[in-house]
Chain A
Amino acid sequence: MNLYPFAAEMLQILIILAIAPAFVGWVRMLKCWLQGRTTAGLFQPYRDLMKLFAKDVILAENASWIFRFTPYIVFGTATLAGGIIPMLSVDLPLAASADAIVLVALFAIARFFTSLAGMDIGTAFGGMGSSREMTIASLAEPAMLMAIFTVSLAAGSTSLSQIVQVVFSGQSVLRPSLAFAFLAFVLVSLAETGRIPVDNPTTHLELTMIHEAMLLEYSGRHLALFEWAGMMKLTLFMALGAVLFFPWGIGTGSIIASGLAFVFLLLKLAAAGIVLVLIETGLAKMRLFRLTEFLGSAFLMATLGMLSFFILE
């Protein structure tokens, strides 16, 4: 039995766990530079996490088991998602256990439980966050799936490894369907990972926060798990975009290829961070009800991608 795929799988999960905070640190650093502030350094998120893990947990009196269980399940789904996306190698054992649709559903589980946790304490903020999160998600998810469907129609498969191989070895360079799907994916990623213009990850202003509102009551290791999972989610979405649309350099089996893939992954993530910061700096946060237009455009892009797959290709 060839043990190499399992080793690659473990390695990939560990790498994602390890570099996610650094990626967030990188994004924050870029943002500071663009706004003319001094940075806290690339490793500040690690320090934050360590501090939170060391702290005691403070729970509200009426918190139920859902509240305590949710951080673990959010972290668990993020870790599994990290094992599914073929970043270092295309033949990962876990990649076959879940395709692109399952991946979307995994993030949906995390969101489902986070929203429940937001309502568990019974404050107005938690409920508000949950309500808004589910609203945005129910508009973002069709667009996300449409983008994925476009890619999988073009590749003839919903399996991520297969998509990567087909897109990588594809003859055509300029595929309008993929370009549209990519645009849609960028818009949806902003919504799914709670970035500006959909949500502001740094705000704690009562009326503008969405994701943070649900986590308001968390502390200690629970909050650390949430933060870590959130960092992984951001990194994973960027990596997913890189893997689906720019699959250069993903290894096919050997250790050297995987090493090379790792270097490529870092470069792609660095570039993705720059794009993300440019978008975030250039835009302002939208009103909640303007988001229908934003997510509608994402859906439109994805649909145009699917149409141009049939019309133009």
Chain B
Amino acid sequence: MNIAPIELAGAAVILLLGSAVLAMFLSRFQHLLVAVSFSLASVASLVALVAGAWTVSSNIANQAVMAIGLPDLPFHLRLDPLAGFFLTIVGGLSFFVSIYSLGYVKGIIAQRPVTRLVVFYALFLAGMFMVILADDALFFLVAWEVMAAASYFLVLFEDEHLENRRAAFLYMVVAHVGAIAILLSFGVMAGLVTGFEGFHGYTFDAMRQAEYTPAWATAAFLLSFFGFAAKAGVIPLHVWLPEAHPVAPSNVSALMSGVMLKTAIYGIVRVTFDLIHVFPWWWGALVLMLGLISAVLGVLFALMQNDLKRLLAYSSVENIGIVLIGIGLAMIFTSFQLPLLAALALTAGLYHALNHAMFKGLLFMGAGGVLHAAHERNMEKMGGLIHMLPWTSGLFLVGCVSISGLPPFNGFVSEWLTFQAFLLSPSLPSPLMKLLIPMGAALLALTAALSAACFVKAFGVTFLGQWRGQHAPQIHEVNWPMKLGMIMAAVCCLFLGILPTLVIDWMDSVPEHLVGSKISTTAGAFGWMWLTPVARERASYSGPMVFFVILAVIVIAYLILHVKKGSIKRVPLWDCGFEKVTQRMQYTSTSFAMPLRRIFGFFFSIRERVKLDPQAAHRAFPGKMHYALRIRDRFWGWIYKPLVDASFLMSRLVGKLQQGRIQTYLIYSFVTIIFLLMVTR
């Protein structure tokens, strides 16, 4: 049997498109619809996963040309290790999420018809697969638009809330501004291939072989980086992300945060390392700087959120920042001809992209479980869910530990690799860069520490303590498909953390293709247990050892202490001699973040209002107290508000042309025709 990976990937796309069509016929049988189409989606994702993983491990590149599309401009497809790697990420998480959706969407049926969700879900997945498979500008942009439009409708799924419609609109606007920039960037590159004559420069192959003058290359890079950064939610282009991701159904949020952002990362890597491939160091410095800013500010914004899903969305901004740090470092190393270090930094960045897909997918699925069970997104009203949702809480904890960068889980490995890449920057020739780049490592350390604080808050406030709301609702554990989806993602988190050497060995063909060097020869030099990215003397880490030694000590301590059966007495909460401790006295999300809010307050625009009840007998004994806190992103006021105001002003001015009289419009047409005739005479 001779099947190329690209055929498998194509089959996955066709399967998804087919399931979208099928869904329209099944819309009268909602339960059947959910079962059939999400099963199909998970099969398709699995197929894509296999195709991607196979391509990466066998280090091959398949190409195909499809005779559809515009006349004379057929669609080109290509599956090389880079595409394969991202196909693995997208396929992997989509597989888990599709299984999860089998259970999750069933819960929505009772409230509203889900046909729309099912159809656009399939289209969304197909769009992402096609973006990764595309090998020409035309197909890429078509796929990109399919992905954007499908996700727009998914964000709009619960469209009765004004908030959701506004979020979807904002998302649409930013996505399209970004898409225009990408289009222009491809236009510049395709035009330069042919000297702006003819269209055959639109394939990526032609762009790859062309040589660009530095000025045009820079223009193309800046345009495409702007476009992809808008999609990835890089600060300051992030404002849509925390609006749109939380309002989508949770399975879709998992996909949007977990993998849709990765397609933008894919675009950045594809354009810089593959299509342009010769670039000055300052491109890398730009990417690195924006990565650092996104990482630090993203996690600080996340810390201030009270809405669980918004918190997760902001944390995606942070993690995209960390991925970009790796990619930026790789770009700097590449431009100074240090391929081995570039390979290390690129591996770190891509590894983090993979890790982020897993743990952010897991966390959004967990948040979906909470939402499904407690019908609540505001952490200030939750608490104590660990007793009612033992599975969800345990799996959510795995995600929290992973995202906080704690060993032996996966987030730590990629951050550790990034730190190693930072510490190798003294081999750069420029003295100033030697000095400045290690400073970035401090910011990464700050990010890691703050994200631990952020996820202690997220987990602690949501799952620990006691229910903070007025009436504790009846909450049941989530159903099996949901559990299964989360369990698989959690197992992946552990696997990627404990066995990084195997994963790096597998994904090494990607840096080999892009920067011409690989690290697995040194990284795995001492067997699968030891990760030694550069040399054994330089640094080493052994996930399995850390994991098993901690486990062994815990087991031994537990056994020794339980030989003599000491009794455990359950008693009511100690109230410090104070009567009537209520659950309203617990630390809330706002109070947890208060010290950090005060320390890093200058990054936000904070309005805090405390009003005491005027009817109290004395100021010292207020009867009631009103507390209002509003925290806003400063970027909104700095960048977006002026833009919005300017566009309103423009439309009002242009609006004056609208007279409402038919004659006036005829005059406009007439004048236009006359003008055109004069110009094109």
Contacts and interface: CB of A to CB of B under 8 A. Distances in A.
- Chain A–chain B contact at Cβ < 8 A: yes
Interface stretch (A33-41, A70-78, A193-201, A250-258): A70-78
Interface in A59-79: 59-62, 64-66, 72-73, 75-77, 79
A184 to B, nearest CB: 12
Interface size class of B (residues with CB under 8 A): 35 or more
Interface stretch (B9-17, B27-35, B399-407): B399-407
Contact of A115 (B426, B460, B530): B460
Given A61-B571, A135-B599, A221-B566, A122 B561 contact: no
A171 interface: no
B24 interface: no
Interface size class of A (residues with CB under 8 A): 35 or more
A109 B407 contact: yes
Nearest to A127: B587
A125 interface: yes
Nearest to B552: A76
Interface string A76-104: 11011001000000000010111101100
B198 interface: no
A94 to B, nearest CB: 7
Interface string B577-596: 00001010111000111111
Interface string B410-454: 001000100110110010000100110011011101101110110
Dominant secondary structure at the B interface:
helix
Dominant secondary structure at the A interface:
helix
Interface in B527-566: 530, 536-542, 545-546, 549-551, 553-554, 557-558, 561, 566
A57 interface: yes
A303 interface: yes
Contacts of B595: 131-132, 135, 288-289
Interface string B273-286: 00000000000000
Given A56-B568, A105-B405, A105-B412, A134 B554 contact: no
Contacts of B558: 72
Contacts of A122: 383-384, 464-466, 573, 583, 586
A310 interface: yes
Given A292-B599, A310-B431, A116 B459 contact: yes
B576 interface: yes
Contacts of A153: 423, 426, 438
Interface in B603-635: none
Determine which residue in A112, A130, A134, A303 has the highest number of CB atoms from chain B within 10 A of its CB, and name it. A134
A212 interface: no
20 contacts: A56-B568, A60-B570, A62-B573, A64-B386, A65-B386, A66-B464, A73-B550, A79-B553, A98-B542, A122-B464, A127-B586, A128-B587, A130-B460, A130-B587, A131-B587, A138-B446, A158-B538, A159-B540, A221-B561, A289-B598
Given A60-B574, A73-B550, A94-B545, 9 more contacts: A57-B567, A60-B573, A72-B553, A97-B540, A111-B452, A112-B456, A130-B460, A149-B423, A153-B423
Interface of B: 383-384, 386-387, 397, 401, 404-407, 412, 416, 419-420, 422-423, 426, 431, 434-435, 438-439, 441-443, 445-446, 448-450, 452-453, 456-457, 459-461, 464-466, 530, 536-542, 545-546, 549-551, 553-554, 557-558, 561, 566-576, 581, 583, 585-587, 591-596, 598-599
